[in-house]
Structure 1
Amino acid sequence: MAGAFKGFGQKAIPFLKALDFHQSREWFLENRDLFEKELRDPFGDLVETLTERFAQAGLGLRGDRKKSLFRINRDVRFAKDKSPYNRHLSAILSPDGSKMGQGVFYVHVGLERCLADVAWWQPEPALLLAMRKAIATQPDKFRAMAKALRKNGLELETEGRMKRTPRGFEQISEPDLTDAIRNRHFVVQHVIDPAGIHTAALVDELVDFTLRARPLLDWGRAIEGTVLAA
């Protein structure tokens, strides 16, 4: 049932630990009520509360409890690890409310860590090429965005960065620009203290992070607009 986010249940993380230990459909079905009460339903509340707050802040990100949450079940069709359940639950808020858009907000509650990202993750080739060209041809705009992020306490993540400069950009020699052009994703991350997931204050924390990440959203959206207009 929809409502304002009040925090995840105190048994949210213990549930994930127990599920990871058992990795059993029978155990999950026996404890499904606990999963829904402590983790899934509060996650739905979080998504919908953030949607309202993001709208008020003009961030252009939205979601709902049915479409935005990822399944707790793993897709094991092509995986060596056949464990049926994830060690986390997560959700995406995006410009159109789907999981398919770019320039998204992602939130993750899991055993290893709890985190939030603002991300252009695995952009399709035309958009990724446009981002790389924008870095090469408009370095001042890229550097202004990166500087604004640093001022807000954020840095672009380096996960998945190519070891070599992609073809067509060999002439770029400035280290900050070559590093950026080698990125496959453009992401900033906020680590959430697991102890802080149990109160409504998590909403303010995540809104503050997303506002601080806005320079990345705005930079990517401007480039995306040129791709869509082409």
Structure 2
Amino acid sequence: MSAVFTGFGQKAIPFLKALDFHQNREWFHENRDLFEKELREPLGDLVETLTERFGAAGLGLRGDRKKSLFRINRDVRFSKDKKPYNTHVSAILSPDGTKSDLGVFFFYLGLDACFAAVAWWQPDAALLQALRRAIETRPAEFRKLVAALGKGGLEFGTQGAMKRMPRGFEHVVDADLAAAIRNRHFVVRQTIDPADIHTPALADQLAAFAVHARPLLDWGRAIQGSVAPQ
């Protein structure tokens, strides 16, 4: 039976602040039990609770506490910043329950931000081309998607968008379609008030957000299904 999310610990944010200050392995290992209790275990509970909620809603997203949580340790092999630890925790729920699938739900709790996102993030070249071509050739369908997201208070982010139109789409002149085609990712997100992370109501808030973002999942999946495997 899956665990029930009851909220992150009251010391979750203070722990991340202390970790940011100390940034050494000795301090972390001395305080690992606090990390597990206040952050990692609740995050695992949240993933399992959302998996049940998403399943009941037919969203086709799932995860578990072993595969879905990202590590607190940073990969510093190719980074000039050698701090060993992230100052956030995060997790992903996807159609197959892994971190490598597309059309996902992402949760991030950190010192710099707290948010949830539903995204087609870094689609491969064939899928990205197909998403862009769908916007170009079926504009009414895309605008219907935008309107459906708007009813839930959501709009596409522009992180990583190209400054110029990609090759083959230079003829698209409608401003809304051109802006969408320049995207490298298709993402909607909801900011979470850090004060809301300590109660079970956070799961309700995240589940409602995912339902509002469902049109993006459905749109991308329909296009994904038409793309030949690479």
Same fold (TM over 0.5): yes
- Tell me what 2:226 maps to: 226
- Tell me what 1:37 maps to: 37
CA distance in 2, matches of 1:191, 1:153: 11
SS at match of 1:173: coil
Unaligned runs of 5+ residues in structure 2 are none
CA distance in 1, matches of 2:129, 2:105: 22
- Tell me what 2:192 maps to: 192
Taking a change above 3 Å as real, the CA distance of residues 106 and 154 of structure 1, as seen in their structure-2 partners, is same
SS at match of 1:105: strand
CA distance in 1, matches of 2:5, 2:150: 30
Summarize the alignment of residues 48-197 of structure 1 with structure 2, pairs less than 5 Å apart: 48-197=48-197
Aligned AA (1:210)? A
- Tell me what 2:4 maps to: 4
CA distance in 2, matches of 1:29, 1:151: 46
Deviation at 1:112, TM superposition (A): 1.2
- The answer as to whether partners of 2:104 and 2:119 remain within 8 angstroms in 1 is yes
Moved over 4 A (4+): none
The number of equivalent residue pairs is 230
- The answer as to whether partners of 1:114 and 1:192 remain within 8 angstroms in 2 is yes
Deviation at 1:107, TM superposition (A): 0.1
CA distance in 1, matches of 2:219, 2:229: 16
- Tell me what 1:213 maps to: 213
CA distance in 2, matches of 1:203, 1:228: 36
- The answer as to whether partners of 2:2 and 2:49 remain within 8 angstroms in 1 is no
CA distance in 1, matches of 2:225, 2:27: 48
Instruction: Write the deviation string for residues 20-46 of structure 1: whole angstroms up to 9, x where unpaired.
Output: 100000000000000000000000000
CA distance in 1, matches of 2:20, 2:2: 28
- The answer as to whether partners of 1:61 and 1:95 remain within 8 angstroms in 2 is yes
Deviation at 1:80, TM superposition (A): 1.1
CA distance in 2, matches of 1:223, 1:79: 36
- The answer as to whether partners of 1:158 and 1:183 remain within 8 angstroms in 2 is yes
> What percentage of aligned pairs have identical amino acids?
70
CA RMSD of aligned residues (A): 1.2
- The answer as to whether partners of 1:2 and 1:44 remain within 8 angstroms in 2 is no
**How does the TM-score come out when normalised to structure 2?**
0.98
Aligned AA (1:38)? E
CA distance in 1, matches of 2:228, 2:153: 31
SS at match of 1:21: helix
CA distance in 1, matches of 2:18, 2:205: 28
Instruction: Write the deviation string for residues 16-72 of structure 1: whole angstroms up to 9, x where unpaired.
Output: 000110000000000000000000000000000000000000000000000000000
Unaligned runs of 5+ residues in structure 1 are none
**How does the TM-score come out when normalised to structure 1?**
0.98
Aligned AA (1:170)? E
